[in-house]
Chains A and B, each alone.
Chain A
Amino acid sequence: MIEAQHLVKRYGAKTAVDDLSFTVSPGHVTGFLGPNGAGKSTTMRMVVGLDRPTSGSVTVNGKPYAEHRTPLAEVGTLLEAKAVHKGRSAHDHLLALAQSQGIGRRRVAEVIDLVGLHDVARKRAGGFSLGMGQRLGIASALLGDPATIILDEPVNGLDPDGVLWIRTLLRGLAAEGRTVFVSSHLMSEMALTAERLVIVGRGRLLADTTVDDLISSASDRPVVVHSPQAGELGRLLVSAGATVTDVEVGELLVTGTTAARIGEVAAERGIVLHELHTERASLEQVYMALTRDSREYTTDEPATGARAGAQDGAAQQQEVAA
């Protein structure tokens, strides 16, 4: 359980986190989503006491992080890849962490096996690949068998196997009743992993919701129409005030009206329809719309059609899976 109340973090004139309040509850994977520079890492660092809030407070499992007697048994954290001395072996890194809390040697061996680093545990961590480093970070996070797990961009730079592994692991940890709080700037990744979402932009809370509610909140979902008389239907719909995009011959993407209305128009004129359905808004679109004003570096993208947006989303998902 993580409870943030009115967290503020300022660096000089720049406000990184601005009056952020949210609760992350056990039993779910909660995605912490926002564009780069939205304050996600800063917030996570304040949760585990690395950075001090300018004002506001945050507790983990009911107490400020520093007041826990065995912090690693309460909260497991992966902040950045390879928060490990390059000259030290994975085993010795984990052993030193374990010894600081009175965690036994057996648990060290256990987490090494759990993340699949058994064969390289005695090698120096400086030679680890990004994926191995990330696995070691996960091992450190799980070392104290914590009830709360905080991971900052855990899939960044990982290969598809690694991404799938982390996704499965996180869902499993949440299923065991743990609090899992994981940040990402990729909606597509969160859509596959998280059930709940805390979305931030420019340090402010934009949404604290579930994935399902977020999708259904999307307005103006586009309607896909397949018709051999698409041209004629398109002209009729435009004159009725809808926005129509020709996707390809015989296929239209219509916004500004409903599937029912399109069906009625077609029936009145005796136009044949092969397909008529309302598209489910992609999370990516909803997310882009939500964070449009808060992205630090925006490209001057034209307002893309819904289908194009959906394809973007699919492309990003493929990117993650590729």
Chain B
Amino acid sequence: MSTQTSRTTTDAVPSQREHGSPHHGQHTAPAGASLPRAVLSEWTKLRSLRSTWWTLVIALGLAVGFAALLAAVVSNPDAQQPQGGPGAGGLADPVGIALASSTFSTLVLGVLGALVVAGEYATGSISSSLMALPRRWPLVVAKTAVLVGLLVPFTLVLSLASLWVASLIYGDAATVDWASSDTWLAVLGNCAYLVAVALLGLGLGLLFRTTAAAITVLAAIVFVAPPLLGLVTWDWVVAINDHLPGVAGSSLASTTGGTLGTGEAWLTLLGWAAVPVLAGALVLQRRDA
């Protein structure tokens, strides 16, 4: 193709221009951006990634697997149980022990939360998302809504499956009282803990924008901080350590209570879930994409 012919073609275009119309298709005008549409769009994004489903499979597998393991260990009559073991009255908190298996899944779901945002920064698709929703905050609301909408039923299944598997393995060592409201409150508390950590991941993803940074901080808060802070006896450090998400989670996911009272534990989880997301939304609103 020679340069000369192409120039000629360019020159020929203006004569056709007057006959064109600005819109070539016969489409009805799109309805416009709205919050429900943003939620639908985010749901399409989340469900269309294999990593979403792998993450859920891994979280479920880990929770149920560790529930079985913990149940087997505590119900083994030969084992030396320092506390909570099968003594005269059986296990003190069989529900709490079974649900403690979820701890390993929190990190997995936190990573899912982080990926919802940081994955977009990593691939550059965040610019597509922000050009579709230039007001930006609806993007955060939609991502939050979709993550919560997916994880509330999922963590319910995860918690019940863990508890059920554990109850089968306890055998004579303990029984899970399915009729007790305490059992169901513990299950709900466990769900809240898992969802809160996922939202913490989402907030950290918004704040740090890279998967590596978000996951590192998430792991530090969920796994690394508790044993390290536990070594320090200053009052304010103890206070912080008592209000980490894991402590609040285990206080709720139990039939015998924990470090924090019920109300304080719920508020603590709410804080870990909401504050980073809100801060992240503010930062997103102000920062160049």
Contact = CB atoms under 8 A, between A and B. Distances in A.
Interface of A: 26-27, 45, 48-52, 65-66, 68-73, 75, 77, 79-80, 82-89, 92-93, 95-97, 99-104, 107, 110, 140, 144-145, 147, 160, 164, 167, 171, 174-178, 191-193, 195, 314, 317, 321
B25 interface: yes
B288 A145 contact: no
A140 B128 contact: yes
Contacts of B22: 26, 147, 176-178
B57 to A, nearest CB: 16
A71 B32 CA distance: 8
B180 interface: no
Contacts of A49: 130-131, 134
A251 to B, nearest CB: 21
Given A45-B288, A83-B125, A99-B44, 4 more contacts: A50-B127, A87-B50, A102-B32, A176-B24
A263 B37 CA distance: 73
B125 A93 contact: yes
B6 A107 contact: no
Contact of B31 (A80, A101, A174, A193): A101
A71 B132 contact: yes
B17 to A, nearest CB: 5
A73 B30 contact: yes
B134 A97 contact: no
Interface stretch (B7-15, B196-204, B214-222, B241-249): B7-15
B80 interface: no
Given A89-B48, A176-B20, A191-B7, A66 B134 contact: yes
A75 B127 CA distance: 14
Interface string B103-125: 00000000000000001100111
5 contacts: A50-B127, A66-B135, A85-B45, A88-B49, A100-B41
Interface in B125-177: 125, 127-128, 130-135
B288 A52 contact: yes
B17 A71 contact: no
Nearest to B23: A145
Contacts of B42: 96
B289 interface: yes
A50 B49 contact: no
A165 B17 CA distance: 19
Contact of A100 (B124, B133, B288): B133
Contacts, number: 158
Contacts of B128: 83-84, 93, 97, 140
Interface of B: 1, 3, 6-7, 9-10, 13-14, 16-17, 20-25, 27-34, 37-38, 40-42, 44-45, 48-51, 119-120, 123-125, 127-128, 130-135, 288-289
B125 A73 contact: no
A175 B32 contact: no
A71 B124 CA distance: 19
A36 B162 CA distance: 58
Contacts of A51: 288-289
A174 B123 CA distance: 31
A87 B51 contact: yes
Contacts of B13: 171, 174-175, 195
Contacts of B24: 145, 176
Contact of B23 (A50, A104, A147, A175): A147
Given A101-B32, A175-B16, A96 B127 contact: no
Contacts of A191: 7
A107 B27 contact: yes
Contacts of A48: 131, 134
A305 to B, nearest CB: 20
A72 B130 CA distance: 11
A107 B123 CA distance: 25
Contacts of B14: 195
Contacts of B37: 99-102
Contact of B41 (A83, A96, A144, A174): A96
Interface-centre pick from B14, B24, B29, B134 (highest chain A CB count, 10 A): B134
Given A52-B288, A176-B24, A85 B123 contact: yes
Contacts of A167: 6
B25 A85 contact: no
A273 B51 CA distance: 75
Contacts of A103: 30
A72 B32 contact: no
Contacts of B17: 27, 174-175, 177
A57 to B, nearest CB: 15
Given A100-B132, A101-B33, A177-B17, A171 B10 contact: yes
B134 A70 contact: no
B32 A50 contact: no
A171 B24 CA distance: 14
A80 B34 CA distance: 26
Contacts of A178: 22
